[in-house]
Structure 1
Amino acid sequence: MSAAQTTIAVIYDYDQTLSPTYMQDETLFPHFGINANQFWKKSRELVDQQGYDGELAYLKCMLDYLEMDRPTNDELVKLGAQLRYYKGVPEVFDELNGTLSQQHRSLGIKIEHYIVSSGLKALLDGSSLAPSVKRIFGCEFGTDKDGRISFPKRVISHTTKTQYLFRINKGMLEPHEDVNDHMDPELRPIPFQNMIYIGDGPTDVPCFTLMKRYGGHAIAVYNAEETSRASFRKCYQLNALADRVKHIAPADYRAGSHLRLLLEEMILDIADSIVRKKKLEIEEGTVSAPHF
């Protein structure tokens, strides 16, 4: 039996997508007295000089810097309450849910929000975003016998982010579920055509590429208040030069903004296509009574 396929998934990167800053900079570093510039310099050196993957480099730096005062995961969750966002976040999650019409809802069409980040899941779990999001995927630490973070438990790099798009696609949201198991397209609860991915730059290219390949939707966002224009240039290159995304917009999630208009139209287009598909299924499954 095929899946209903009436769910629309809006999937967000976090750092510089939902927030203008990196989550560590505004939570961990001030709390533990860590110099952000020195931290990221050391992390970059591990990548450039010792061949570390970027995400493993920053996780190792965290453990090194916190060697004498390692927090518990619960303490990291509490720090997540300090996270700040772009304008219109977190209100956008509930407001986008109101985009659907009564006809859409009568057919069971709904919107789910997901975050897929290379940042720390614990911080996001403690944020004001968590209650409005179906699932948060991020890097995680295991703990020692005293409950202190001790070793990376899960690492999400910019390339492995695509695994989580497939998890959403197949409804395999739990870590123990093998996302590589074969599943026929009609059995997948959220087709890629029902997905919208929002990211900010080159680290999101694998996800942008996946969306383009399988008929999904993607938007690259930039910080319009950044005077250097570096954020905008990244998106411009992804759009005009590399042809990775069709749409770019300032990271303003408020009603009436360019980004919100794009999101609302994409949601309506997806919802209307689901309606057309359902009507076609009904018509093809209906056999007319004989006429006399």
Structure 2
Amino acid sequence: MAAPQNTIALVYDYDQTLSPNYMQDDVLFPKFGINPAQFWDKCNSLVHEQKWDGELAYMKCLLDYLGMDRVTNDMLSELGAGMQFFPGLPELFEDLPKASLRPEHHIAGIKMEHYIISSGLKALLDGSKLKPFVKEMFGCEFGEDSEGLISFPKRVISHTTKTQFLFRINKGLLRYDQDVNDHMPAEQRPIPFHNMVYVGDGPTDVPCFTVLERNGGHGIAVYNPEDPTKKSFRKCYQLCTHAKRVQHIAPADYREGSHLWLLLSQMVTEMADKIMLTRTEELDRSTVAAPKF
């Protein structure tokens, strides 16, 4: 029997998508007196001169800088409470479903879920004000030693491995003890790609944009309208106009009535309507008329 497939998933990158700041710059560097320019210079040196993967480079640098501070994952989560977001967050997570799903959608069991896939630190996300509103958050993680101190990268999520988590959402396999490579027929997957929207800010989101674009989903590239350099806008413009990775770009303003809000709301409503139409068509095809006298 086919899965109901009545869930709509909104999936977000974090840094410069939900927040104007990198999460490390926002709360971690000020707490431990780390100079951001020096930190990122060291990361970039590992990447460009020694050919490190970018995410492993920044996690190594974090361990180097925090080595004397006896940091735990719980300490990182406490810092996450101070992370700042673009306007309209976290309110959108509760308000958008109310504005986008009509009573008949709710009666039909259609619902919306939110997910975050980030190359940032999951421990910071776990302590953030977004946590109560998000079904699952995926991010890089540190393991801990026998004293409970962060000791080594436990999990690293790069821009290419982000797509694994789209498939986890697609298949409903959110736990790491569930093998995302297990075969699952399309009709058994609880959230089809065409019921997903991915929101990101730049080239590191291209693999996720591509997966959804090829499978009937939606992508939105967002930019910081307060960026004086306009670099944030140019990244999105390139993704849309020249690279054809997304059909929509919008300022990262999540307040009700904004361009981004209207895009998300319309996409959700249309997906909900399509779910109901598909059910009606399936019922019509499977119904056999009774004999007439």
Q: Normalising by structure 2, report the TM-score.
A: 0.99
Provide the rounded CA distance (Å) in 2 between the counterparts of 1:211 and 1:291: 47
1:82-161 counterparts in 2 under 5 A? Answer: 82-98=82-98, 99-161=100-162
- Residue 285 of structure 1: how far off its partner (Å): 2.1
Superposed counterparts of 1:169-208, under 5 Å: 169-208=170-209
Give secondary structure in 2 for the equivalent of 1:82: coil
Please name the residue that 1:269 is paired with: 270
1:284 is displaced (CA, Å) by 1.7
Measured after TM superposition, the shift of residue 200 of structure 1 is 0.1
| 2:257 paired residue number | 256
In the TM superposition, residue 290 of structure 1 has moved relative to its aligned partner by 1.7
| In structure 2, distance between residues paired with 1:202 and 1:16 | 12
CA distance in 1, matches of 2:54, 2:67: 20
- Alignment of 1:226 with 2:227, yes or no, is yes
Question: C-alpha separation between the residues in 2 aligned to 1:95 and 1:28?
Answer: 30
Q: What are the ranges of 5 or more consecutive residues in structure 1 without an aligned counterpart?
A: none
Shift of 1:132: 0.2
Match in the other structure for 1:22: 22
Alpha carbons 1:87, 1:253 under 8 Å: kept: yes
State the match for 2:3 in structure 1.
Answer: 3
Post-superposition Cα deviations, 1:5-30, rounded to whole Å, max 9, x if no partner, equal 00000000000000000000011101
Aligned to 2:51: 51
Read off the aligned partner of 1:61 and give its amino acid letter. Answer: C
Kindly state the Cα deviation for residue 114 of structure 1 after the two structures are TM-superposed: 0.2
1:237 equivalenced with 2:238 (yes/no): yes
Residue ranges of structure 2 left out of the alignment (5+ in a row): none
Deviation at 1:134, TM superposition (A): 0.2
Deviation at residue 269 of structure 1 after TM alignment:
0.8
CA distance in 2, matches of 1:83, 1:289: 62
Q: d(CA) in 1 for partners of 2:196 and 2:204?
A: 19
Q: Tell me the TM-score normalized by structure 1.
A: 0.99
- Aligned-partner Cα distance in 2 for 1:84–1:96: 20
Deviations 1:53-106, CA, capped at 9 Å, x for gaps: 000000000000011113111111100000000000100000111110011111
Tell me the CA shift for residue 38 of structure 1.
0.5
The one-letter code sitting in structure 2 at the alignment partner of 1:264 is S
Q: Note the aligned Cα RMSD (angstroms).
A: 0.6
1:69 aligned counterpart, secondary structure: coil
| Aligned length, in residue pairs | 292
Out of 86-95 and 276-285, give the one that drifted further.
276-285
Give CA deviations for 1:117-171 in whole Å, capped at 9, x if unaligned. Answer: 0000000000000000000000000000000000000100000000000000000
2: distance between equivalents of 1:154 and 1:87? Answer: 30
Query: Which residue does 2:39 correspond to in 1?
Result: 39
Secondary structure of the residue aligned to 1:209 is helix
CA separation in 1, counterparts of 2:54 and 2:97?
35
* Aligned residue type for 2:291: P
The amino acid of 2:75's aligned partner reads E
* Whole-angstrom CA distance in 1 between matches of 2:106 and 2:290: 30
Q: Which runs of 4+ in 1 moved over 4 A?
A: none
Identity %: 64
State the Cα distance separating 1:248 from its structure 2 match: 0.2
Bigger mean CA offset, 63-72 vs 155-164: 63-72
State whether residues 63 and 70 of structure 1, in contact with CA within 8 Å, keep that contact through their aligned partners in structure 2.
no
Please state if 1:246 is matched with 2:247.
yes
SS at 1:178 equivalent: coil
SS at match of 1:152: strand
Q: Please state whether the residue corresponding to 1:112 is helix, strand or coil.
A: strand
Classify the secondary structure of the residue corresponding to 1:183. Answer: coil
| One-letter identity of the residue aligned with 1:156 | I
User: What is the identity, as a one-letter code, of the residue corresponding to 1:97?
Assistant: P
- Structure 2 residue matching 1:225: 3-state secondary structure: coil
